[in-house]
Amino acid sequence: MNETDAAARVRLRDVFEAQARAEVDSAVAIAELAEAREWTADSTFDVIGTRPVRIGADGTALVEEFLPLEVATAKGISVASATWLIRDVVNLKARHPLLWFQATKGLVPMWRACQLAAEVARFDLSIDQAQALDTRLAPKVPTLPWRRVLQLARGLITELAAEKVTALQEQARESRFVRKLPTDDPAVAYLSARVDTADGIFFDAMVDRIADILGDRGDTDSKDTRRAKSIGILATPARAQLMLAEAAGQAGPVRSTDPRLLPEASVYVHVAEETLLRGAGPARVEGVGALPATMLKYLLGHTRVRVTPVIRPYADIAVDSYEIPEPIRRQVLLRDTYEVFPYSSRTARASDLDHTDPYRPGSKRQTRASNLGPLWRKPHRAKTHANWDLEQPRPGIFWWTTPTGRYRVGPNGTSRHFSNPRYRSFDQALWNSDHDTGPAKPP
C-alpha cells in the first residue's frame, strides 16, 4: 500500500465519521427544535391560527403544526420528507430511549435507529409496549446485521402485542392497491401492486400465457419483454380475450389486431413550436416526464389519439368571482406543473389553487392565472396564519419569505436567496428583475 492509498483511506474514514457525527447533530437539533415547539397540557391556542399536531406515535408530544415547513425549507426537502424525519426522531427519543442513547453515542448509525423506530411505529404500539421492546432489543442491535435486527424486532412485537400484528395484517388486506410508478427513464414505468396471494398467482399465470402467445406469433423479444407487453394487452380485456380464443383455434369475425379495440386516453403533452417545426426535440408528458418527441409513438402507439386545442398558459383571462373557471384552472396547471412551495415535488393536480394575493370581495380581476398557484393546505395555512409571505411578481414566479430565509420558486425549481453575502448583489438584481413594474412576461 503506497502513501496515496493510505491517505485516501484515512480521508474516506474521516469523511464517513464526519457524516455520522453530522447525522447525530442533525437529529439532536431536530429533537431540540421539536421540544421548543412543544405544546403542553396547559397551552392555549386559537382554532383559527396556529394549531398543535402530533407528528409522532403514542407518548410523543404535540408540536406546532408549521414545524415541518420550517425543517423542510432549512434542509431543502419536501414537507412530507421533513414530517417523516421529525416523526422518526421524536419517536426514537421518546419511545426508544436506550436506542436513542446508542445512536447519539455512535454505537448505532442514527439513520438505522430512526429506520427501526419507523418500523416499530407501523404496529401502533403504546408507549409502554415500545419502551418494553426497547429494553429487550437495544442491547442486541449494535452487534447484529440489519436483517436479523428486523426479524428479532418482529418476533418481540408478536410476543408483546400479538393483537397489533393481527390488526396490521388485516389492514394490509384493506389497503390493497395497484399503482403506476415513474422510473429514471420516462419511456417505461413501474407497476406496483398489493393483491390477494391467489389473485397474484392467477394474474402472473395469465401474463405468462399472453407472453407465450406473442412468442408463438413470431415475437422475438425476450420472455421478460413479452411479459411486459402482456400487461398492455391485458389492459384491453376484449383484445386479450380474442387473443386467447384465437390461440385456442376459435377465431371470430373480429380479430385481436382490430384498431377499434385500442383504448382512448387523455394525455397532456407539452411540445415547443421549434420541436414541431424541426420534427425533433423534447416533449414533456404530464405524469411521465420529458422524453424525445420521436418516442411519443411508444406512449401513444397503443391508443386512439384525440387532438384538443392548444392551451396558452399566459393568456390574460380574469374573472371577478372567487370560484376558478375551468379555462383558468387549466392555464395554471399547465404553467405550474408542481406545487409552488419551496422544494416541493407534489404535482399541481394534487394541490389546491391558491390566490397569491388573498381574495377580497368586491375587487375586480382577482381570479386570474397570474394571481393563482397550486398549493397544499398546510403551506396555505402558514401563509395565512404564520406570517409566511408569498408574492407572485410575474406569472409562474413565486417569492417566499419564511423564518429560514427567502426562496424563489419557478419553472426551474427552487433557489435560496439573500443567505450568502457573496451573492447578495446578484440575488437583489434577480429580485428587482422579477418585481419590475413593466408588463408581465412569461418566465
Question: Model confidence over 147-204: pLDDT tens digits?
Answer: 889 889 988 999 898 888 888 878 878 888 998 887 777 777 888 998 887 788 889 8
What whole-number distance in Å separates Cα of residue 239 and Cα of residue 148? 47
Sheet holding 62-64, edge to edge: 38-39, 62-64, 52-53
The residue type of 402 is: T
Which cell numbers in the block locate residue 18? 464526519
Residue with the larger pLDDT of the pair 267 and 400 = 400
What whole-number distance in Å separates Cα of residue 435 and Cα of residue 399? 10
**DSSP, residue by residue, 31-59:** HHHHHHTEE-TT----TTS--EE--SSTT
Cβ neighbours, 10 Å, residue 201: 11
Whether residue 296 has pLDDT greater than 70 = no
pLDDT digits (tens, 9 = 90+) for 368-427: 999 999 998 889 888 888 889 999 999 999 999 888 888 999 988 888 886 656 656 667
State the DSSP H helix or E strand holding residue 284, giving kind and residue range, or none if neither.
Answer: strand 282-285
CB-CB contact of 239 with 233 (8 Å): yes
Residue with the larger pLDDT of the pair 195 and 93 = 93
- Rounded to whole angstroms, the maximal C-alpha distance in the chain is 79
Average pLDDT value over all residues in the chain: 83
Cα 381 from chain centroid (whole Å):
20
